[in-house]
Every structure is written in C-alpha cells, then in structure tokens.
A and B are shown apart, each in its own frame.
Chain A
Amino acid sequence: MNASVSRRRFLAQGAGGLSAVWVTAHWPALLAAATHARQAAHSAGLAKFEFFGADEAKEIDAITSRIIPSDETPGAHEAGVVYFIDRSLTTFGVDDQKTYREGLPELQARVAEMFPGTSKFSALMPEHQDEVLHSFDEQSQRGRQRRFRSSPGAQNFFETLRQHTIAGFLIDPDYGGNRDGAGWKVIGRAREHIFQPPFGYYDKGYPGWDVAAKEEIEEAEKK
C-alpha cells in the first residue's frame, strides 16, 4: 500500500459514501443534526424519519442488517443505524440523497429480477438477501482499498450504504449513531474517555525501558 495513503487512509481515500459538502456555513446545520440524531438515538420509539418513508426505512434497515447482522451480539438494527443514515441524508450527507433515491429502486428491481414475485428486499429470506447484495458487491470489487470519499461518478449505492452502515454502527455514540454503544461493545472498545496503562495484555508487567533493555541485552549476550 502506498505509504502516504496507508498513513492517512481515513482522510483521503475513497470509494463512495460519506461524501459531503463542507463549508463553514454548514456548521449550524451539522450541529443541529448531531443534536437531533442524538435525541433520536436516545428515544428510539419516538424518532421520526425525515428522509426515508416508512417503507424505505424498512428496506434500508433490512439491508444494513445484512451488512452488520445481529447474532449473539447486536448488529446494525440494534444500533439504530437506519436512524443515523436518515439524519445524515438531511444534514451533512445531503450529497448522497441522489445515490439513495436512485439506488434503492435499482436494488429492488434486482430483487424482482433474481426472485420473481417480490420487489421488497425486506421480504426475502436472509440467504436470498445476501445473494442480492453479492450481486452488487461484485460490481464494486475495486472498493477494497478505496474508502470514504470517491472520485465523482464512482459511487454506487451499495458501497455508500456499506460505509454509512459502518459509520452508524461504530461512531462515538455521542454523535448520533451506535445506539447505547452497541457497536463498540461488539468490537471491544471501552466507552471511557480517559485510559491509563497497562492498556493491554502485552504491556502488563513491563518493567520499564531501562530494565527491559538491560535484561534483554544480557539475555542476548548469554546466547
């Protein structure tokens, strides 16, 4: 991997998703959105969708649930990812509205094509849902090393939704997704804001640089 790219992968890369207009003037909107999303996240039952219709929300929720499924641990559904995406599309992610408006019907057409009799993704069996998504993923194989912002025209609905799902699942819960810290529980990230050593398994009992250096040099000399 290219050195600078690997170093700053998160700032610079991109295939689809999470692209957004950013100008100073959008600050108040973003802050309002974050507040709104946080409230929505904290009052799941009452939250209303602002961008999606109820049917669309059901479809998006079903897709995100295949991207990060629920099993013994919570998935995208429990983390309220569909609410995060809904808020995103009316605030910092307005540029992606078109991708969703055009992409969801395309995906539903693919559903009908592959499984005649329904055009609802959410009505399919999970394994059939995965087949539909694989059919889109194959078209975006270029995506593995390209993250976030894409070159114009390279976005596609599935890749955008995949990245939005990851963001909604793993963002710091203070910023309107990852309801109840569900995503962080899954990956084992503690919620504390401040940490102290020892941090992990391998730095427990570390004797300090001077001692470690001396011990290991002596050991090397013995050999």
Chain B
Amino acid sequence: MTVNQPKYKTSDEVDFVIVGSGAAGGVLAKELSSNGFRVVVLEQGPYLTEADFTHNEIEILTLDKLTNHPKLQPTTVRKTPDEKAKPQRALVYGRCVGGTSVHFTANYWRFHEIDFIERSEVGSIPGASLVDWPITYADLEPYYTKVEWEIGVSGLAGASPFDPPRSKPYPMPPLPVKSSGVLFERAARKLGWHPFPAPMAILSQPRPGRSACVQCGFCLGFGCEVGAKSSSLVAAIRVAERTGRCEVRANSYVHRIELDSNGRAIGAAYFDEKRNTHLQKAKAVVVCANGAETPRLLLLSASKQFPDGLANSSGLVGKNLMFNSGGTVTGVYAEPLNDYKGYCVSRVLHDFYELDKEKVGFCGGGGLDARYDFTPISFALGGIPPETPRWGKEFKATLAHNFTRTMEIFCHGTSLPVENNSFSLDPDLKDAWGLPALRLTYKDHPDDLKLSNWLLERAHAVHEAAGAVKKWSFPAQEQQFGVHLLGTCRMGHDPKSSVINVDHRTHDVKNVFLCDGSSLVTSGRGQPTMTIMALAFRAADRITALAKRGELSA
C-alpha cells in the first residue's frame, strides 16, 4: 500500500465505487482517478505485494493464497439446466489486489478483426447464440496500444502475418526464447506455418519501480516477486494510488448493490474482514468482479424493482458463458530443454485463427503455443507420461530424466456462446458468508470439441517435426471447470439481447457499469485478459465523457 491513499468515509459519496481490482478494475481505477475522480476500489481478497509472493508451491497448490478458496466459496456444477447441480470446484480466479492478473501466464495478443464480426462472416450456427460485437477491432485498437505501452507488453510487431493492423510497435522487445520455443519455431516452419515471438505482459526491460523478468521459473500460478509481470497490481493500481484520489480497500466482499426508490444505485454493500456490513456510497458503481462474480452480484442484488436480479431485464445475466476450448500435447526430447527456467510461453502460431467452416466441418479457430507451465511438484503430479508408475523406482527415474526434457504444446481456441451455459445462484449451497453459492451450468458446443481435437492433431504434428522422443495427449472432453470466465453480461445495442451498452452501462440502471470478462460477446481464441484490459481503458474514456456531461448525477 502506498503513501497517498485517501481514506474515504463510507458515508462520503465518492464519484465511483469499483468492485474488484483485477485486470479491468485496476485499469478503471487508474484511469478514472487520473481523470480527477474520487474512487474507492473494493477488493474481496487481501492486499499482497511483492514481499508476500514466494516460490512455495504449497501456498499456491493447496492453500489458495492468491485465489478463491473452494471451502470458503464452494460451487456446484451441472451440464444442463434440467439437472441438479452437485458440489464441485467450478472455477479459479485471483482473489487478491490485482486479481487474476497477479498469477496468470500473461499471454497478451490482441483479438483479431474476425472475433468482433464472426456472426456476419460465418452465419448462424445451430445451438449457438453467436452475435457480432457492437464495436469493432478498429474501435478497440487505440486501447490495445494503450495497454501495451502503459501496462507493459513485450513483443515483436509484424512478426505474425496474421496479426491485425496496429498503430504502434510494442514498447519493448520480446523476452529471450526458450528451448521449447526454438523447437516449436523450427518445427512449425518446416510444416509451413508461421510461428512468432509470444507477446507477453512481462517486462523484457525494466521500468520505474519494476524489474525486467529475471526468469525465476515460478510464473503461472505465482505472484511476481520483482514486479516484472504486468499485473493490474503493479501496472495500474499503483498509478491509481499515486493520484491521491483512489482508495483500495482490501478484504471487502461486496454482496449487494443498493438502489434508491428511483432505481438508481446509491453504492455497494460489503462485508469487511470481520464480516461487519458497510455501504460505500458512490455516484456510480462499476462492477469488475469477473465473469462469474459480476453476474452473481447482480443476481444477489435482486429487489422488488428488479425481482430477477439487477440489470437483468434481458434475462441474460450470467448466460452465454464461454471458457475457451483447447488442450495440451506433452512431449519429451533427447536433450535437456531446462524449460523450468523462465516464463512459460516464448513462441505462438496463429495460422489456424480463421478456419474455413465448410472445409473443417466446424465453426471456430485457434492457435498453438510452446510452453512449460510446470513447477517441480506439479510436474511430478501431472507432467509424466500417463502409463508411468505413480511411485517407486521407475517413477523416480522418469522424474529425473523428464523434468528437464519436457515441453508442452498448448492449443487455444474459441468457445461458441451457448445460452444455457451460465453462472447462476445455487438454490441450496451457501458460501461462508451465508450468500448463495455460484452454480455452473456448462456443456461445450460440439464444434468446440471438434476444434480442440483438430488443434491437438496439429500440436502432435509439431512435436513430430521437432523430433520428440515421446508425446501424448488426451482427447478433448466436455469442460466442467473454467479459468477464462467470459460472456456472462454481454455487450450490445439491444436491451432485449444484451446486458450492457457500448459504454459498458447497464441498459436498466443508468449509473451501474460492468467491465470485465463478462462484457465479451465472443471468446476470442483464448487469452482474453489483453482484451479485457483494452475494454477497461475504453470504458474509462466513455464513462469519463458521460460524467463530464453530467449524465451520472442524480
């Protein structure tokens, strides 16, 4: 926590209360406070900083130090709306200041033009609720550039022939290539494809107060000890705090948006660390709680005026959930790659971003990346060939041989929106605060599974061409667990078929805005955080303009 944080009274009506401090909430806090507004950010998790981040796998793997805890916030899962959901872990998201951007892999490519206009390009898809975005790539381009320069993204402009047009190069060169990246790059070129240096939200050059990446090797799942990972925590929240107008209130779990009798939001009600309730008053509420918790908060905020949940006249709050599709092919090579050193992903290819539906027999697209996202314990539990004994002499010998010689090719692809796929409130299960738990309903669109298997075949081909000694994968299965939480309060012009408008304003409540993964209309081809941040920069501009026109005052 930095020195200049104001302490606002809950009764002091600030300009904005922002729910959530992740990729979107952090950027909105930075932008709105920099634009002169008084802002309170309510974050349900703790305020951790670089000094709190460690290489302790137990904290990450079993104690959920940085993420939602399944015992405090249990969830239920089912495939279709006619089933009764069973208690099961449905999702992981960051639960600390900075949100999921604290522990993510940091892949940061931009969505392409097609992601915004796919419905017009491919037509109607049976079983999917695919629609165009109300904005285009061109509308978002300046904000992608802002993310790259202000938040810090390393990469090489022009390296991928499939990249959409850009107004500026990356602010810093790509990170050094890993052995996995070299194997991937050479093999993919042999196959006639176009690998390129992965754009990453990780610094390849230092910035004030932040080190360049030191390649420690504890990246996915862990907080960065040197501030090289461009999380909302180090790249946005700290800027917001330096304005002297933004207070970040951690351990503040928002459970209700309160309204006045005219149907305007008056602020956000939350539990503090001791579970006392407070109401932070604000002129407007901006919900950036992620694609699961944002719809949940709206549903929890049901009232006489809004019996089906706040801003839910469309009935679409929580629906059209998309997780992204994909899979992994793991390979073992003759010589040590030592890929445990350093960040996860150094090469990507997007040759399959747009596939011909008629030719492949399904709708969707995606890409491949070369990665190693294991740490020693997770490797021993999940990185060895499936037929290897799980204990004993051969187990140990396999660990000893494979740990340094393994790499993965990860497939990332579209999820088609399906209206039944959703987060809703479980009718029975409660969280540790007595609030209805999240209930996941999810059944992948058949095209998503076809795409995943299609991409897995290409990933096998890359390993083959790279000379892998051994490789394996598992066929794509229906997902019952997500980390990309997208589409649950989709953006659109029509209040009947969308939850927010192009300003991120809810159609139903004029001073409630939503911005996070829930705003996305399509899933992209995986790796949505870059687009979530770009949307947040854009939303901040739109909201600022509205506020300056006096449209947010009662």
A→B interface (CB under 8 Å) = 1-14, 18-24, 30, 34, 66-69, 71, 73, 75, 88, 92, 130, 133, 137, 143-145, 147-149, 151-152, 162-163, 165-167, 169-172, 174-175, 183-184, 186-190, 193-203, 206, 209, 212-213, 216-217, 220
B196 contact set on A, CB distance < 8 A: 209
B390 contact set on A, CB distance < 8 A: 137, 143-144, 162
A7 contact set on B, CB distance < 8 A: 326, 328, 373, 410, 483
Contact mask for chain B residues 65-97; partner A; CB cutoff 8 A; 1 contact, 0 none: 101011110000000000000011100100000
B179 contact set on A, CB distance < 8 A: 198-203
A174 contact set on B, CB distance < 8 A: 54-56
Question: CA–CA, A187 to B375, complex, Å?
Answer: 11
Given contacts A145-B382, A206-B182, 19 further A-B contacts (CB under 8 A): A4-B323, A7-B410, A8-B483, A10-B57, A22-B64, A66-B392, A149-B89, A167-B61, A170-B379, A172-B57, A175-B54, A189-B340, A193-B216, A197-B178, A197-B215, A199-B337, A200-B336, A202-B333, A202-B335
**CB-based contact B479/A200 at 8 Å:** no
Known: A8-B92, A203-B178. A3 touches B377 (CB 8 A): no
**CB-based contact B404/A11 at 8 Å:** no
**CB-based contact B483/A67 at 8 Å:** no
- Give the residue name and chain of the B residue nearest to A158 (CB): B391
B451 to chain A, nearest CB (A): 10
Question: CA–CA, A34 to B411, complex, Å?
Answer: 38
- Main secondary structure, interface of B, reads loop
Q: Which of B306-314, B393-401, B491-499, B506-514 contacts A (4 or more CB under 8 A)?
A: B393-401
Interface contacts (Cβ under 8 Å), in number, total 265
List residues of B (24-63) whose CB comes within 8 Å of A's CBs.
46, 54-63
A–B Cβ pairs within 8 angstroms, 7 of them: A30-B59, A92-B63, A143-B390, A149-B89, A194-B216, A195-B217, A203-B177
**CB-based contact B189/A220 at 8 Å:** yes
A175 contact set on B, CB distance < 8 A: 54-58
B277 contact set on A, CB distance < 8 A: none
Contact mask for chain B residues 327-345; partner A; CB cutoff 8 A; 1 contact, 0 none: 1100001011111111000
Q: How many residues does chain B have at the interface if contact means C-beta atoms less than 8 Å apart?
A: 98
Quick check: is B185 within 8 A (CB to CB) of the other chain? yes
Quick check: is B429 within 8 A (CB to CB) of the other chain? no
**CB-based contact A188/B381 at 8 Å:** no
Known: A92-B58, A199-B338, A209-B177. A4 touches B69 (CB 8 A): no
A162 contact set on B, CB distance < 8 A: 390-391
Question: CA–CA, A40 to B297, complex, Å?
Answer: 46
**CB-based contact A4/B221 at 8 Å:** no
B→A interface (CB under 8 Å) = 46, 54-65, 67, 69-72, 87-89, 92, 156, 159, 174, 176-183, 185-186, 189-190, 192, 196-197, 214-217, 221, 251, 273, 323-328, 333, 335-342, 373-382, 386, 390-393, 395-396, 399-400, 403-404, 410-412, 452, 473-474, 476-484
Known: A4-B323, A186-B400. A201 touches B336 (CB 8 A): yes
- Choose among B92, B336, B381, B452 the residue that contacts A163 (Cβ–Cβ < 8 A): B381
**CB-based contact A1/B473 at 8 Å:** yes
- Choose among A130, A169, A197 the residue that contacts B177 (Cβ–Cβ < 8 A): A197
Determine which residue in A2, A71, A75, A152 has the highest number of CB atoms from chain B within 10 A of its CB, and name it: A2
B328 contact set on A, CB distance < 8 A: 1, 3, 6-7
A4 contact set on B, CB distance < 8 A: 323-324, 479, 481-484
**CB-based contact A13/B452 at 8 Å:** no
B500 to chain A, nearest CB (A): 25
- Choose among B62, B221, B403, B480 the residue that contacts A187 (Cβ–Cβ < 8 A): B403
A161 to chain B, nearest CB (A): 10
**CB-based contact B67/A11 at 8 Å:** yes
B399 to chain A, nearest CB (A): 5
Question: CA–CA, A213 to B181, complex, Å?
Answer: 13
B167 to chain A, nearest CB (A): 22
**CB-based contact A69/B386 at 8 Å:** no
A78 to chain B, nearest CB (A): 12
Question: CA–CA, A19 to B71, complex, Å?
Answer: 10
Question: CA–CA, A21 to B72, complex, Å?
Answer: 9
B333 contact set on A, CB distance < 8 A: 202
B251 to chain A, nearest CB (A): 8
**CB-based contact A201/B337 at 8 Å:** yes
**CB-based contact A18/B337 at 8 Å:** no
A169 contact set on B, CB distance < 8 A: 380
**CB-based contact B62/A149 at 8 Å:** yes
B71 to chain A, nearest CB (A): 6
B376 contact set on A, CB distance < 8 A: 170-172, 183-184, 187, 189
**CB-based contact B400/A172 at 8 Å:** no
**CB-based contact B178/A199 at 8 Å:** yes
- Choose among B55, B178, B215 the residue that contacts A172 (Cβ–Cβ < 8 A): B55
Known: A149-B70, A188-B403. A24 touches B481 (CB 8 A): no
A1 contact set on B, CB distance < 8 A: 327-328, 473-474, 477
B453 to chain A, nearest CB (A): 11
Question: CA–CA, A22 to B58, complex, Å?
Answer: 11
A220 to chain B, nearest CB (A): 7
**CB-based contact A9/B378 at 8 Å:** yes
**CB-based contact B71/A18 at 8 Å:** no
Question: CA–CA, A13 to B382, complex, Å?
Answer: 10
**CB-based contact A200/B339 at 8 Å:** yes
Question: CA–CA, A212 to B380, complex, Å?
Answer: 34
B381 contact set on A, CB distance < 8 A: 9-10, 13, 147-148, 163, 166
